Amino acid sequence: MTLAPVYPHASAVSCSALAGSVFRRLVVLCPALEADVAETGSRTPQGWVDGAELAARPEFLDALVAAETLRTERDHGRTPRPDVAASRALHDYLWSVGLLMSGPWCLERRVPRIRPESVRVSLTTGAYSVVPGGFACLPGDPAAGLPGVRVLPHEEALRAELRAAFADHVRPLLTVIAPLVRRGPRALWGMAGDDLVSGVWYLGRMLGEEERGVRAATELLPEPVPPFPGGADFRRLAGREGRSYPTRTRAGCCLHYTVRPAEACATCPRTGDAERLRRLEGDRPR
């Protein structure tokens, strides 16, 4: 089971226009997703870099990590280690791209094939921009006959397409950033799987449908599915007055705890269940 689709009218509309529409809806629903939609065929603005450039040109990757270092110093008053800055930049990229791909799947049962050159990152603000293009959908989708739309036979094929599209997008970046973050392939793919699951979970919360988001994320990664070394692996925490909360523990760390030692992420292996419950009973986790 996944979140229920809401289809806009598809007649006489290009697939890129439909993709752009759901991206805009996603950005409105998700305040933590700092992104906008770029025009098809537009150039990457000055001060921005696209995903293909990050993977192909070391100077662009160095610039992204340097920009993350400056933002961390500004926001937290602490200079991160080079591997921490690279990990934080990678985590932001994986989470943002993962949500840009999984969001349309959750909202409209459409999986966009976002090429690395179609994702742009601002070196100043860390914001993202995406150029819409084609997508995959199910046979009953009104857009099924449009040029640039690939029709898949069933729900599991669509989930497989999402996993493959995300993996294909991030694989070149994971390869080149590995020496900077000082981690091997298993840890990096664990981080990628974490951020893919996290985006679906987050969108469920933003829709007021957390439990359905948890189920959707679990169906997307029910167990280790190569190249992802782990499944969604949600579990329950028992709270006050008979309440229970979904939680999970990340397989790959973004190293946020090195910047804010007292504020490790809610799903960090360093955050015990008692602390998770304390946060959950008082506030919702980010």
Angle between helices 185-206 and 155-181 (to 10 degrees): 130
Kindly report the CA angle at 79 between 77 and 84, in degrees rounded to 5? 125
* The pLDDT value given to residue 11: 45
Q: Which of 24, 59, 20, 65 is nearest to 42 (CA)?
A: 20
pLDDT at 1 over 50: no
**Lowest-pLDDT range, 22-26, 71-75, 156-160?**
71-75
pLDDT at 178 over 80: yes
283 confidence band (pLDDT: 50, 70, 90): low
How far apart are the C-alpha atoms of 10 and 91, rounded to whole Å?
Answer: 34
Q: What is the pTM of this model?
A: 0.92
pLDDT at 5 over 80: no
Q: What percent of the chain has pLDDT over 70?
A: 94
Would you list the domain boundaries of the chain? 15-232
How far apart are the C-alpha atoms of 130 and 119, rounded to whole Å?
Answer: 5
* The pLDDT value given to residue 96: 98
pLDDT single digits (tens) 197-228: 999 999 999 999 999 999 999 999 999 999 99
pLDDT single digits (tens) 50-107: 999 999 999 999 999 999 999 999 988 989 999 999 999 999 999 999 999 999 999 9
Residue 34 backbone dihedrals phi, psi, to 5 degrees: -90, 95
| Residue 77 · residue 69 · CB < 8 Å | no
CATH number belonging to the domain at 15-232, selected among 1.10.1790, 1.10.3470, 1.10.510, 3.40.50:
1.10.510
How far apart are the C-alpha atoms of 122 and 54, rounded to whole Å?
Answer: 12
* The pLDDT value given to residue 12: 44
Q: What percent of the chain has pLDDT over 90?
A: 78
**Residue 46: exposure state from Cβ atoms within 10 A (0-12, 13-18, ≥19):** exposed
Q: Are strands 111-112 and 135-137 parallel, antiparallel or unpaired?
A: antiparallel
Tell me, what DSSP letter sits at residue 258? Answer: G
263 confidence band (pLDDT: 50, 70, 90): confident
How far apart are the C-alpha atoms of 265 and 90, rounded to whole Å?
Answer: 16
* The pLDDT value given to residue 286: 36
How far apart are the C-alpha atoms of 267 and 264, rounded to whole Å?
Answer: 8
Output the average pLDDT for the chain: 92
Q: Coil, strand, or helix at residue 237?
A: strand
* The pLDDT value given to residue 226: 97
* Max mean pLDDT range (40-49, 163-172, 245-254): 163-172
pLDDT at 279 over 70: yes
| Residue 137 · residue 110 · CB < 8 Å | yes
Residue 101, both tokens:
């791909």
163 C-beta neighbours (distance < 10 Å), count = 20
| Residue 221 · residue 231 · CB < 8 Å | yes
Tell me, what DSSP letter sits at residue 123? Answer: T
